[in-house]
Amino acid sequence: MLSKDNERLTGKIIVKALITNTTPIIISSGKDDEESDILLVRNWKGDFYIPATSFAGVLRHNMRFTYNENPEQFAYFWGIDNQSAMIIDDLMSEEEVKVTIRDGVKIENKTGIALKGALYNYEIAESDTNFKLYIEVNLRKEFDKDYFFKCLLTMRSLIEKGKINIGAMSNKGFGRIKLTNYNIYELNFSNKEHSIAWITDKVEEKIAPTTKLPEPFHISSNNTMTIDASFALKSSLIIGAYSEETDCPDKIHIKSNGKSVLTGTTLKGAIRARAEMIINTLGGKPELILKEFMGWVSDKSGNNKKKEKCSSRLIIEETYIENPTEVVQQRTQISRFTAGVLNLFDSHPLWKTNNSVDMINIKITIKDYKAYEAGLILLILKDLWSGDLPIGGEKAIGRGVLDGVKAKVSFNENTVVIINKKNNGTKLSIEGPSEKLEEFVKAFHNHIENIENIEN
């Protein structure tokens, strides 16, 4: 607790910037209506905004490692036994935030069929909207100004490195943000000009941004594996959505801001289903391996039954599909008993464009990965690469089959690059310590065997 002698305000640090969401955001209001099961939070005007509580919460969670640098100043900055020195305004946008509704469905992994009653939908705030970020930090006698500056600059660094994601479903590619127009000002209230600039709300006009700043805290990226892979599309792809326009096909490919996307929800569902299949094939138990790795939510229901859950350490990005060809395909539903026509319908899938080699980009991150988890994901990457794991809808008629072009696997300061060179007479070109990838796969097989031995 601060003594009365040290409570006097000596100055402020002010941060002004723009936050732009590069992927859609979901921040629920906790309400629903006839059109959507999850409604976005809105202000008094009915416009979506990013609540300061959501932004500050994710910042604090990702800044926990700075506690050991100075526990006392950490408590002052974030507010443990006292009010937080940092004040964040709600992040509003002066632009119109485009809100759309997406559909979701829970799939039974054993059959690949949608579960009965498991269809739902949710509102999203579309990408590429600018939100104003305004932060004030109070300075008092006992506060370590350099520590506070380091905290603010570490926040900036975390955002720039893509480690801060806002809202729900962040492990499925939602809530990615970037930072622009970042300025930081230091006000010393013993300086008359600074005090007047603050009182008259003319800080930007009267005070120059601070340039002499300390280095941020070191951000460790150890024990993180990332996979950045590009794929060609062998035939067609459709992740189903339904247009509000009456003259549109019965089913179209999902879009975000008018661009076709590969959604993180679709890809993560396919990856989890394939992971379960691989583990079952080897005689293992998926629930023992995937529960803590890929996330889990209990099936309990009712007012008195709180759902148990575990957050996923597997992160899948939502990415745009580059230069697809969109062609409507007329289809016919045939009766299996009479061979007669039951229904006529059409769909609007994406098709491979001539000379388009790397239409689809897949980005996967594993936080705090274990060797056997890395091995499992590498096996799934192989299935995607070879076309054995299709994604999206209408797989029964050949849609969603990919062909690997290039993959970059990074882990613990190592990088392995895999390039498909079918046209040059060789299958693959591998650069980097590829033997380490083999070690990951062996670790996965050994983990399955060890679990079996323990159970037996």
pLDDT in tens, 301-351: 555 456 677 788 999 999 998 888 888 877 777 877 887 887 777 888 888
Residues 55-71: what's their mean pLDDT? 85
The residue among 307 and 412 whose pLDDT is bigger is 412
pLDDT in tens, 257-304: 888 899 999 999 899 999 999 999 998 888 888 888 888 776 655 554
Predicted TM-score (pTM) of the model is 0.84
Domain boundaries defined on the chain: 8-206, 224-455
Residues 6+ apart with CB under 8 A from 29: 39, 40, 41, 42
pLDDT in tens, 349-398: 888 877 667 789 999 999 989 999 999 999 999 999 999 999 988 888 88
- What's the pLDDT score for residue 355? 66
Q: How far is CA 282 from CA 181, 240, 272, 314, 436, in A?
A: 52, 33, 16, 22, 22
Query: Residue 228 region, left (φ>0) first, then alpha (ψ -120 to 50), else beta?
Result: beta
Residue 397 to residue 393: CA distance in whole angstroms: 9
